Amino acid sequence: MTNRVVVLGGGTGGTLVANRLRRRLRREDAEIVVVDADDRHLYQPGLLFVPFGLARTEDLVRSRRAQLHAGVDFVEGAIESVDLGEREVRIARSEPIRYDVLVVASGAVLQPEETDGLTGPGWGEHVLTFYEPRGAAALAAALDRFAGGRVVVDVVDMPIKCPVAPLEFAFLADWYFRRRAMRDAVELVLVTPLDGAFTKPVCDRELSGLLRAKGVEVVSEFSTGAVDGRGRRIVSYDGREVPFDLAVVVPLHGGAPYVARSPGLGDELGFVDVDEHTLQSPRYPEVFAIGDAAGIPTSKAGSVAHFAGEVLVENVLAVLRGNAPIARFDGHTNCFIESGFKKALLIDFNYETEPLPGHFPGPVGLPLLHESRLNHLGKRAFEWVYWNALLPGRDLPGVGSRMPVRGKARVPAGSRVGV
Amino acid sequence: MPVATYAGREVDVDVEGFFTDPGQWTRDMAPEIARDAGVGDLGPGHWKVVDFMRAQYSEKGTGPTVRVLGKTSGVSVKELYELFPTGPAKTAARIAGIPKPRGCI
């Protein structure tokens, strides 16, 4: 009998997994079906550049279906729920789809309405987010007409997609206002619930130094309780206030709404509870999750979905053959951090190893944790790699699932980063 | 490894004062830890959160973040900050004798 693998979500993780699985499974052995509510695949890393006029939202979107192997079926429809007992996905205005293996890859959604006042007066005008296309475009217009004052970048709470993006926004804003010869008229402030710019010590020191050098004030351990658009201030749960003229807010994130409507599938925030190494559900061995949808202790970043993809494919194949999953994901994450003036940093880390200086992927390669033009070119070239190699599920030369150790300098915690 | 003394008994803690072995915790230690953490006297509201933290830790191996606490403990985030003004998840975890919540990166 033919098996059916159903992948929920045609974004980064879902697309590359479906394409990789198709190449490993004969058609007579398994059908592969991808379900998504629309046919618009957004290149999310591009959103950062939209507010500064460096990218246009319409150029960041392509057909989801067109990114899938010809042997993968694409069903366009809103997912209502998953019945884990019946092994069935219920879809609006469509027949339910039975599965033998389910891969949840539906990412994270923004929940601005969960923060008091955020979607009230000023939302879309002087309270904006660049985490979705409309907001990013509106922010471009708001920056364009900005005449000076306080720009506050506020992260409401973790987890968020791409935890370095708010820092990158601050770096690029510094560059943008300098280019417009009005930097002296602008105060830049980064407000974060974390106790520093980043959670990992060596990286935090490097990024904090860069924020200082660019004149970005950091307000840390600030838990946003409300955004008052009329009074132009952000208020924390412990009563502190940060005034703003323009607020760039990263709203709360949660899992796709159908996860919460599917008993047993998700945690309190709607992310899917899977083993951090095998990516398999502890209760339902035929259920896996990948990317931002997975409730694992990684950053929510495309690189994680990419590196986890190889592991997930091996483990799905094992389950289809009646075996236990043995491939293990090491938490490998790799992020370019755009720092303005055509420079960027690169960080590479996993569950065990924090971002360290050195070079990637080996001793001769891109500089790690250090600003360089090469990394900026790498970040901009990545868009091509994304559509042409990563989504089709091709192996990138020299860049494997496991984090490379070669090329990294060992820095004892607490010591200064040498570059 | 640092050691602290609560209710007359020595327990292992990390540099920030979080228990490294939740098995060493007993309820009579909580009021002393709370004083150390600047919380003052523990009322029923505090205990509701502390008991919830311990139950979550034994079930999941990590304490919840403040956002998850607000969604699941029956105490709103606003009330949590009234009970534990300097950070509900961290402070309640310390009083409950469990390691610092992992949070997310």
DSSP secondary structure string, A118-154?
Answer: TTSTTBTTTEE-SSSHHHHHHHHHHHHT--SEEEEEE
User: Which tokens in the block code for residue B16?
Assistant: 């920030």
Prior bond to A285 cis, omega within 30? no
pTM, rounded to two decimals: 0.93
Residue B104 lies in a domain: no
B67 to A252: CB separation less than 8 angstroms, yes or no = yes
Residue B24 lies in a domain: yes
Strands B3-6 and A366-368: unpaired
Q: How many domains does chain B divide into?
A: 1
Return the pLDDT at A6. Answer: 98
* H helix or E strand, kind and range, residue A359: strand A358-360
Prior bond to A201 cis, omega within 30? no
Return the pLDDT at A419. Answer: 33
Distance CA A49, CA A327 (A): 36
Return the pLDDT at B103. Answer: 61
Nearest to A269 by CA among A103, A158, A154: A158
Beta partners for residue A10, in sequence order: none
Q: Cβ distance A189 to A153 under 8 Å?
A: yes
Going residue by residue through chain A, which has 419 residues, state the pLDDT in tens, using 9 for 90 and above. 689 999 999 999 999 999 999 999 999 999 999 999 999 999 999 999 999 999 999 999 999 999 999 999 999 999 999 999 999 999 999 999 999 999 999 999 999 999 999 999 999 999 999 999 999 999 999 999 999 999 999 999 999 999 999 999 999 999 999 999 999 999 999 999 988 888 777 888 899 999 999 999 999 989 999 999 999 999 999 899 999 999 999 999 999 999 999 999 999 999 999 999 999 999 999 999 999 999 999 999 999 999 999 999 999 999 999 999 999 999 999 999 999 999 999 999 999 998 999 999 988 889 999 999 999 999 989 999 999 999 999 888 878 889 998 888 876 544 444 33
Chain A / chain B CB contacts < 8 angstroms: 42
A139 and A216 inside one domain: yes
| Shortest Cα–Cα distance, B8 to chain A (Å) | 33
Return the pLDDT at A418. Answer: 37
Q: How many domains does chain A divide into?
A: 3
A135 and A232 inside one domain: yes
| Active-site annotation holds for B57 | no
User: Which tokens in the block code for residue B55?
Assistant: 């139950």
Distance CA B37, CA B87 (A): 11
Q: Cβ distance A64 to A72 under 8 Å?
A: no
A103 and A162 inside one domain: no
Q: Which residue of A has its CA nearest to B71?
A: A268
Cα angle A226, A227, A230; round to 5: 130
Return the pLDDT at A396. Answer: 83
Residue A22 lies in a domain: yes
Tell me which residue range forms the domain holding A303: 3-107+256-320
Within 8 A of B72 by CB-CB distance, chain A residues are: 268
Q: Cβ distance A342 to A336 under 8 Å?
A: no
B105 to A252: CB separation less than 8 angstroms, yes or no = no
A223 to B87: CB separation less than 8 angstroms, yes or no = yes
Cα angle B73, B74, B77; round to 5: 80
A289 and A196 inside one domain: no
CATH no. for residue A239? 3.50.50.60
Reduced to 3 states (helix: H, G, I; strand: E, B; else coil), residue B90 is helix
The upper half-sphere exposure of residue A24, i.e. CA atoms within 13 Å in the direction of its Cβ, equals: 19
Write the ipTM: 0.82
Distance CA A407, CA A125 (A): 46
| Shortest Cα–Cα distance, B39 to chain A (Å) | 14
Mean pLDDT on B33-53: 95
Residue A329 lies in a domain: no
A155 and A246 inside one domain: yes
Within 8 A of A273 by CB-CB distance, chain B residues are: none
B103 to A199: CB separation less than 8 angstroms, yes or no = yes
H helices within A277-405, ranges in order? 302-320, 373-385
Residue B103 lies in a domain: no
Out of A250, A270, A302, pick the residue that ends a domain: A250
A87 contacts: CB under 8 Å, gap ≥ 6: A98, A99, A100, A102, A286
| Shortest Cα–Cα distance, A193 to chain B (Å) | 10
Q: In Å, how far from its chain's centre is CA A57?
A: 17
As a whole number, the mean pLDDT across chain B is 91
Distance CA A158, CA A199 (A): 11
A103 and A120 inside one domain: no
User: Which tokens in the block code for residue A178?
Assistant: 């300098």
Return the pLDDT at A415. Answer: 44
Tell me which residue range forms the domain holding B56: 3-95
A237 to B78: CB separation less than 8 angstroms, yes or no = yes
| B104 has a pLDDT exceeding 70 | no
CATH no. for residue B60? 1.10.10.370
Residue A382 lies in a domain: yes
A268 to B78: CB separation less than 8 angstroms, yes or no = no
Residue B68 lies in a domain: yes
Q: What share of residues in chain A are helix, strand, coil (percent, to 5)?
A: 30, 30, 45
Q: How many CB atoms lie within 10 A of CB A314?
A: 17
Beta partners for residue B82, in sequence order: none
| Shortest Cα–Cα distance, A314 to chain B (Å) | 26
User: Which tokens in the block code for residue A409?
Assistant: 């300098």
Out of A266, A293, A320, pick the residue that ends a domain: A320
Q: Exposure of A363 by Cβ count < 10 A (0-12 exposed, 13-18 middle, 19+ buried)?
A: exposed
B3, B15, B104, B105: the active-site residue: B104
Distance CA A19, CA A391 (A): 8
Residue B102 lies in a domain: no
